[in-house]
Structure 1
Amino acid sequence: MEWVVSLTEAADQLGKEGCGSKAFELSRLMQRGYCVPDGFVVAGKVHESITSAEAESKAADMQVAMLQAFNRLMERYGAVSVRSSCTAEDLSHASFAGQYETVLNIRNQEAFFQALRHCWNSISYARVNAYAKANHISLHGSQMPLIIQGMVNADTSGVAFSIHPVTHENSVIVNVSYGLGEAIVSGLVTPDTFLYEKTTGKLHAEIGSKELKCVLQDQGVCEIDTTWLEQQRLCITEEEVLEVCKLTENLEKEYQTPVDVEFSFQEGQLYLLQVRPITTTKEKTAV
């Protein structure tokens, strides 16, 4: 069994149990031609092997394999992200959104291995266990595969829903703001909101205040204030919104269930970052 596998081949070589739901779905989407940032997957059992004193020689080989894959990706992108793909994540009834760790804009080997450890350790976070308990999910036997992807230096990012997540209206809802998507998913900004009526093709837009944006710096990310002009105008064009809506509708048809989609634009190119079933009516948050 391979422990470090290209993202394109991860679904076939590792299966869902070996690479987790998130990596499995991204891998299948890449195979179908969707524009997903390239990368590789570190299988879930790598963490167990690296932390086992009895497997020291194997762990050294795994670290070499991960470093070689990291260096190849760095040559293409100049920076990478490390994302969780836990086998208890992106489930049909519980997304675990925001529970595990993601580390962005990694530019050297030391930061890369620190990010791996950080994401691996997040499976034991108290908030993760509380969320799992609230949704009646056992984490026993769960593994933490990781996705390492080329970093998209996003001009704008957002989340799209193939149906209204609250009213279940049959319209595509798009929330989008400047910079990286963390500003939206962390609730730091009031994004621009678009509602696309599937039956009529009408598009409605509401300008959000977009108070700040998350951008790349020399290492990691930082938050900077948006300008007055940025706050007063829509951050993407009508053509770009319709491109996102078409992508979201296509994915809903492929998955045969309502989905939410994370995306970014860089220099006019639309990147698909994640797809998962809409679970807002099913899952519970820990209190």
Structure 2
Amino acid sequence: MFKVMDKNSTISPSNIGTKAYNLYFLYKNGVNIPDTYCLPNKYCADFIISNGLYDEIKKMVYLDNYDALKYKYLNIIKHKNRFKIPYSLVDVLKQLLKKNTLWAIRSSSAYEDTLSASFAGIYKSIIGIPSDLVILGKALRKVWLSSFSHDLITYMKNIIKLNPKEILEIILHGMPVIIQELINSEKSGLVFSEHPVNPKHSEFFFECIRGLLEPLTSGMIWNESFIFDGNKVFSHFFEEQRLGFFAIKNINKNLLPGDKVQLFQENKPRIFSYFKKRSKYIHILRLPFELWNTPVLSDPEILKIYNTLSHVSNKFPKAEAEWTIKNGKIYFLQIRPITTQSNFPNYRFYLDHKGEFQGLGVSSGYAEGTLFFWKNKIDENLENKILVVHEMTPDLLPYYSKIKGIISETGSVLCHGAILSREFEIPCVILPKAAQLLRFFKKVAIDGYEGKVIKLE
């Protein structure tokens, strides 16, 4: 089901945003999507006006530099708790309370998910929200206020080439939002209809995990990747997955690590081991041993995803899609054009005798620089440095325009950090245990095409 929560709003990217418009296209073409409710831009505009933000933003229009804009944004975020959901939205949200389910709230800006810009991970998305008016309202506020982030300014400045005035005009227009029923996934993944790292290949590129999609897109967990040409799977890479994220609404609050949790997976009960809580309704569980080293997707599931994306290739000839599976049913969560591609060959992990590590290249290019080991520490002097990080989190984004490259211990070809690296045109290599392996290195060269890290000093 797809429903716009305002009968007077036309279904266009300007009113409901690109993400929602693309989902509407899937829905109209018979593709299965989760129940989706779209809040058009008018509700965000009401939020801006009713909280006095309109006048504040209008004053900012005269700012002529990005640093001043970031400072003003910071003042808004500091006082985020004073902003209330407009009365015009209360009755709309009450319609959702009739469904006793968990929700996911995602941004749907008219500027994201386009041919020129993905905005991968830039705006806030929140999953595991119960049918509670107050909690839904707070989650909506977080998503809307993600328009006032330093990350967004950095992205719009460097990727879309907008000046401060143009950025503010986009905010005043209001950001549409989609509220989707959260599918408690057994399997999730991403698929590119053209190879993301070698566009000479027309085969589909898959990445998938067990459980919810979030840890794959954020680069925390990576299980399996392969290429599918419509007939067979090849270039299959498999990494053991022991943990997964799952949405559980009714769970014993006194569970301790190691306690047993029974979930129905693939139409039969399986015993998981409790690991820890991610949020109130999202939990991290240790997978049953029999799932650690088994392929995520069956051949019929691969073929069905392939056929679905091929079916909509008239509108999306080069597409990236997110999908999830529950009880054998495949749901498409979103679809967007591929914004960037770069070239690199197959990979493996090893160390030769010359101080050269072979990792996974996820963004092509060559760079030399001094290593900087990131430990949640803000250091403004990152010019010409190569960052070594555990994972490519959003707080790195303000430095993408300054650094020469990234070496990450976790991640994959299709995670948000890799997509952003390709959009910013900086080389990026995934190298497990990089902090330990490179601890005695001072200066290195990285080759994002070959996936190599080479010691220089």
Tell me if TM exceeds 0.5.
yes
SS at match of 2:301: helix
Which residues of 2 match residues 1-287 of structure 1 at below 5 A?
6-7=3-4, 13-53=10-50, 59-68=86-95, 70-72=96-98, 74-75=99-100, 78-107=101-130, 108-138=132-162, 139-142=167-170, 143-168=174-199, 169-198=201-230, 201-204=231-234, 205-218=236-249, 219-251=280-312, 253-281=313-341, 283-284=423-424
Which range is displaced more, 222-231 or 170-179? Answer: 222-231
Q: Deviations over 1:4-28 (max 9, x none)?
A: x914999982411011000011112
Q: Deviations over 1:36-57 (max 9, x none)?
A: 11121111121221343499xx
Q: Deviations over 1:199-221 (max 9, x none)?
A: xx222233222242111133342
Q: CA deviation at 1:225?
A: 3.1
TM-aligned CA distance change 1:29 to 1:52, over 3 Å: same
TM-aligned CA distance change 1:268 to 1:53, over 3 Å: closer
Q: Quick check: which one's helix share is greater?
A: 1
SS at match of 1:255: coil
Distance in 1, matches of 2:125 and 2:51, equals 29
Distance in 2, matches of 1:131 and 1:262, equals 22
Q: CA RMSD in A?
A: 2.6
SS at match of 2:30: coil
One-letter identity of the residue aligned with 1:100: Y
Retained in 1: the 8 A contact 2:5–2:39?
no
Pick 1 or 2: higher relative contact order, CA cutoff 8 A, min separation 6: 1
Distance in 2, matches of 1:244 and 1:226, equals 24
Q: CA deviation at 1:120?
A: 0.3
Distance in 2, matches of 1:186 and 1:144, equals 23
Q: CA deviation at 1:258?
A: 0.7
Instruction: Structure 2 unaligned segments of length 5 or more: list them.
Output: 53-84, 250-279, 342-421, 428-457
What TM-score, normalized to structure 1? 0.87
Retained in 1: the 8 A contact 2:4–2:39?
no
> What percentage of aligned pairs have identical amino acids?
23
Retained in 1: the 8 A contact 2:93–2:133?
no
Q: CA deviation at 1:111?
A: 1.3
Which range is displaced more, 150-159 or 32-41? Answer: 32-41
Retained in 2: the 8 A contact 1:7–1:23?
no
One-letter identity of the residue aligned with 2:326: Q
The total of aligned residue pairs comes to 274
One-letter identity of the residue aligned with 2:168: H
One-letter identity of the residue aligned with 2:423: E
TM-aligned CA distance change 1:8 to 1:179, over 3 Å: farther
Distance in 2, matches of 1:237 and 1:8, equals 37
Instruction: Structure 1 unaligned segments of length 5 or more: list them.
Output: none
Q: Deviations over 1:61-120 (max 9, x none)?
A: 33212322x224x24xx1111111012211211100111111112112221111100100
Q: CA deviation at 1:136?
A: 3.0
Distance in 1, matches of 2:50 and 2:144, equals 17
